[in-house]
Structure 1
Amino acid sequence: MTEHTLTVAGVAVDTRHWIGGERVASTETFPDVSPIDGSVLGEISRGTAVEATAAVAAAKASFPAWAATPRAERARILHAIADGVEKRLEELAIVETTDNGALLRSHRRGVMPRVAHNFRFFADWLLKLEHEDFETRGHTNHVSWDPAGPCVLITPWNAPLMLATWKVAPALAAGNTVVLKPAEWTPLTASLLADIAAEAGLPAGVLNVVQGYGSEIGDALTSHPDVRRISFTGSVPTAKRISASAAANLTPLSLELGGKSPLLVFADADLDLAVDLAVEQYDNAGQVCLAATRFLVQESVAEEFTRRFVEKAGQLTQGDPRDEATDIGPNIHPRQLEKIDGFVQRAIAAGARAVIGGHRGDGQYYAPTLLTDVAQDSEIVQEEVFGPVLTLQTFADEDEAVRLANDTRFGLAATVATGDPERAERVTAQLVAGTVWTNCFFVRDLQAPFGGSRHSGVGREGGTWSFDFYCDLKNTVTAPKGWQSHE
């Protein structure tokens, strides 16, 4: 390990920022700690307003040339980045597992392949992005997507590289330049992405990566007058601060925030399927914004559903995420673990019953938990826990199910289990959510709009919706052929 390099499972990671095509060190650092065993992986350059300003300046300087780069060339470079990701897939997987504690098998088989797919999808979508010309009184209307300028992308720790590239790929495809600010708890794969992008031929300054604490560097990024777009995934309180910071410049925002999504299980559902969907909500130790953390089960099947759920959840293995047999890894940080346990202990003190779990494990592990006897207006039902903690409530009929499902300030997702197609159509039409799954979960296609309603977010991204956000849409109106100027 050199002064500015740390090594994770034999993979060297530069700990400095990536600004204007060069590595830049800060005078101060912050520790990067693995949630698996609490070990310090290394010291990371701790950015300030100085590095933030330099990164925006680099993005601004490189913007004209990148914006003018033909679509086909931009797409070629994005495919080359995807090639680089696939070439280093195993390295990215082990580094991210060590950094954020998610399952290595998931990173190998799903997450890192999705990272490459993000670049390939938006590269290909760019080449077919068009709107059919239309006429108005003989005049031709032509819609185009013009690059907007430097973008600040602020990403979370629960799926660091996948969620970063979900933003980086369309922003670059659109012809914009980027300043990426990864979460301070999981900075490593963003650094590796900078290396991969440079090796793929992305021009200097088009992608910049600055590391540090949001409280120290965030405002300098989000309030900068040269920033043309801000995309953020994270908590509602942080989103409010970013919105206030961006307001002075009227900088457009895309915000993907928290969730408190329901899983509605009707008596006519396939209970084995419903239980499988329910147990899946422990994925990534419950650190998934889309997770259906509130089980709403029809009274007549609630007892049987609970029995089967307890049996199925009891088969899960919690432990080292690098082990192929592990189903649930650690939670990200001691502070997050304290938050999770606080939610659970307050709920139990208020009368909730822990059917399973309800306590910490060793280290940064929290036992998979299911709480019943919870009130609709209670904290545990209304607030996002972001850990392996689920609640179960019952309902009598369809109307009550919909009322309970919609009775939160969030609206990110919902899942419905029913054997009646007509009921599915009625219920899904009434649910307040950006995504609704019927008899399935976590089926995601980049062609689809993604985002949340209410406090779960602002805007939609995916497919053309991403280009609508990352571009300035222009309509050019041309008079009929043969027109003459009137001077």
Structure 2
Amino acid sequence: MPESEHTITVAGVAQVAGVAVDTRHWIGGERVASAGTFTDVSPIDGTTLGEIARGTPAEADAAVAAATAAFPGWAATPREERARVLRAIADGVDKRVEELAIVETTDNGALLRSHRRGVMPRVAHNFRFFADRLLTLGHADFETRGHTNHVTWDPAGPCALITPWNAPLMLESWKVAPALAAGNTVVLKPAEWTPLTASLLADVAAHAGLPAGVLNVVQGYGSEIGDALTAHPDVRRISFTGSVPTARRIAASAAPQLTPTSFELGGKSPLLVFADADLGLAVDLAVEQYDNAGQVCLAATRVLVEEPIAEEFVRRFTDKARRLRQGDPRDDSTDLGPTIHPRQLEKIDGFVRRAVAAGARAVVGGHRVAERYYAPTLLTDVDQDAEIVQEEVFGPVLTLQTFRDENEAVRLANGTRFGLAATLATGDPARADRVTARLVAGTVWVNCFFVRDLQAPFGGSRRSGVGREGGTWSFDFFCDLKNTVTAPKGWQGHG
């Protein structure tokens, strides 16, 4: 699109590809400015998208106060009405899919076609799913010596939700929808690199009839406003998706109040390819790990291939990876968009340069492409204890190691501090059962990748997270579970 149509910024509003986005906070049902701002820049071409209200502890306090004031009314709202409002939010997302998609692509650089066809419809689905699950939430009563046990999921209170930049609105809805369905109120802090669709979500929710103060959106840096939220004594739940160091900081901040926390953190997931696998499928699965320019926590960045097929696998992979098109994510022919930020690009390049200096060989890529892109990269000749194998790069960089048998494959696969996901390619169902039983991972895919269902638990083991999201697991976190025990009618005495 022409540069003149890209963005126009006026006081408090950014016009992104013709879509007006308010750049102020959303607190207590009103737009609120801050004394300072920070600049939001598109990763596509470095264009300034807007000057965003830069929150301080004062805005954090105001947002928590608004959420606290709104909590009793929303918690007392019947389930059916809460579900109706969530479905209305989903309808609002559906009506604005095109606007949300172009704003998100402009703000975070992911493919526009993916946002149109998959991501934004998934956002709407998230709200509908938790609305439906709310209406079926329950546990059958059970008896204890004639006494009736009745389990309920009670709203917990104001929740602080802190989300990352790689899939902003989808991951925001993944937290906001169950928190609201549970009867809680929310203070959402989006990542400072991608704040725009969170602001649009506030508009959609208000139009859907969500009462003022039930959803609040505050923008800014973690060190300036995030800490104020996570240490706040009136916040009753904290859900965070992001890095391990930030999670440690949040845990320390929440500890004095014993605020329950849920963390979905980094990954260094393996893709195990056995000699009996469909090799074409295995290569496709490996190349798929470059999705979103490798900025996916679930990506299987460690490719482990059985020795007899390693040479042929590399040949086929190299041929396919070199045909990927990098460029403007708004172009339907593009396969990989830009890296989110120059700082992230420098981090990725640093990992690769250090790996090559230590003896790794780049059979594909291994270098920057223009100013904002990193070439899809495959590194071989890497040791298990190498930094590039052990640490999350969060870019389009894969490593390849070989193994001789199942035991070695499992040892290599489990040989990091992470445990978010794993992918397995094999033609032997018995082998699949044996290997998956031994893998340390929150999700394992067999001969497929990225198939996600909200009914399933999602989360990581080891340093990949604490807790599970999805289905009833989300309600378990966002609620206070209560068991009420009632004596039989007319019963006297004590248990």
TM range (shorter): over 0.9
**Which of 7, 10, 23 lines up with 1:15 in the alignment?**
23
Matching residue's letter, 2:213: G
**Which of 197, 211, 221 lines up with 2:205 in the alignment?**
197
Aligned-residue offset at 1:218: 1.1
Q: What is the SS of the residue equivalent to 1:142? A: strand
Residue 293 of structure 2 is aligned to residue 289 of structure 1: no
Cα distance per residue 1:454-486 (max 9 Å; x no partner): 000000011000000000000000001223589
Residue 69 of structure 2 is aligned to residue 69 of structure 1: no
**Which of 237, 252, 271 lines up with 2:279 in the alignment?**
271
Within 2, Cα distance between the matches of 1:363 and 1:64? 51
Within 2, Cα distance between the matches of 1:8 and 1:148? 37
Q: What is the SS of the residue equivalent to 1:386? A: coil
Find the counterpart in structure 2 of residue 454 from structure 1: 462
Residue 166 of structure 2 is aligned to residue 158 of structure 1: yes
Find the counterpart in structure 1 of residue 487 from structure 2: 479
Matching residue's letter, 2:243: S
Aligned-residue offset at 1:315: 1.7
Find the counterpart in structure 2 of residue 117 from structure 1: 125
Aligned-residue offset at 1:417: 0.2
Find the counterpart in structure 1 of residue 475 from structure 2: 467
Matching residue's letter, 2:228: A
Within 2, Cα distance between the matches of 1:275 and 1:409? 26
Return 82-91 or 475-484, whichever deviates more.
Answer: 475-484
Matching residue's letter, 1:169: A
Find the counterpart in structure 2 of residue 239 from structure 1: 247
Aligned-residue offset at 1:442: 0.2
Q: What is the SS of the residue equivalent to 1:26? A: coil
Cα distance per residue 1:32-81 (max 9 Å; x no partner): 00000011111000000000000000000000000000000000000000
Find the counterpart in structure 2 of residue 128 from structure 1: 136
Within 2, Cα distance between the matches of 1:133 and 1:331? 52
Cα distance per residue 1:273-327 (max 9 Å; x no partner): 0000000000000000000000000000000011110111122111000000000
**Which of 49, 52, 56 lines up with 1:48 in the alignment?**
56
**Which of 317, 323, 326 lines up with 1:315 in the alignment?**
323
Residue 405 of structure 2 is aligned to residue 397 of structure 1: yes
Within 5 A, what are the aligned runs for 1:135-150?
135-150=143-158
Residue 387 of structure 2 is aligned to residue 379 of structure 1: yes
Residue 429 of structure 2 is aligned to residue 421 of structure 1: yes
Q: What is the SS of the residue equivalent to 2:10? A: coil
Cα distance per residue 1:189-231 (max 9 Å; x no partner): 0000000000000000000000000111111000000000000
Return 113-122 or 475-484, whichever deviates more.
Answer: 475-484
Find the counterpart in structure 2 of residue 57 from structure 1: 65
Within 5 A, what are the aligned runs for 1:351-390?
351-390=359-398
Within 2, Cα distance between the matches of 1:314 and 1:387? 16
Find the counterpart in structure 1 of residue 418 from structure 2: 410
Q: What is the SS of the residue equivalent to 2:374? A: coil
Find the counterpart in structure 2 of residue 39 from structure 1: 47
- Structure 1 portions without partners, runs of 5+: none
Aligned-residue offset at 1:2: 2.7
Cα distance per residue 1:153-196 (max 9 Å; x no partner): 00000000000010000000000000000000000000000000
Within 2, Cα distance between the matches of 1:218 and 1:468? 24
Find the counterpart in structure 1 of residue 345 from structure 2: 337
Within 2, Cα distance between the matches of 1:41 and 1:352? 39
Within 1, Cα distance between the matches of 2:395 and 2:241? 17
Q: What is the SS of the residue equivalent to 2:375? A: coil
**Which of 243, 267, 274 lines up with 1:259 in the alignment?**
267
Q: What is the SS of the residue equivalent to 2:474? A: helix
Find the counterpart in structure 1 of residue 4 from structure 2: none
Q: What is the SS of the residue equivalent to 1:248? A: helix
Within 2, Cα distance between the matches of 1:437 and 1:164? 24
Within 1, Cα distance between the matches of 2:76 and 2:90? 22
Matching residue's letter, 1:142: H
**Which of 231, 252, 256 lines up with 1:248 in the alignment?**
256
- Structure 2 portions without partners, runs of 5+: 1-8
Of all paired residues, the percent bearing the same amino acid is 84
Matching residue's letter, 1:146: D
Within 1, Cα distance between the matches of 2:15 and 2:493? 68
Find the counterpart in structure 1 of residue 35 from structure 2: 27
Residue 103 of structure 2 is aligned to residue 87 of structure 1: no
Find the counterpart in structure 1 of residue 5 from structure 2: none
Matching residue's letter, 1:291: A
Within 1, Cα distance between the matches of 2:16 and 2:277? 46
Aligned-residue offset at 1:408: 0.2
Matching residue's letter, 1:206: V
Instruction: Report how many residues are paired.
Output: 486
Q: What is the SS of the residue equivalent to 1:127? A: helix
Aligned-residue offset at 1:385: 0.1
Matching residue's letter, 1:214: G
Aligned-residue offset at 1:254: 0.3
Q: Any runs of at least 4 consecutive aligned residues in structure 1 with deviations exceeding 3 A, and if so which?
A: none
Within 2, Cα distance between the matches of 1:418 and 1:395? 14
Q: What is the SS of the residue equivalent to 2:369? A: coil
Cα distance per residue 1:357-410 (max 9 Å; x no partner): 000011210000000000100000000000000000000000000000000000
Q: What is the SS of the residue equivalent to 2:402? A: strand
Find the counterpart in structure 2 of residue 301 from structure 1: 309
Q: What is the SS of the residue equivalent to 1:225? A: coil
Cα distance per residue 1:127-157 (max 9 Å; x no partner): 0001000000000000000000000000000
**Which of 237, 240, 259 lines up with 1:229 in the alignment?**
237
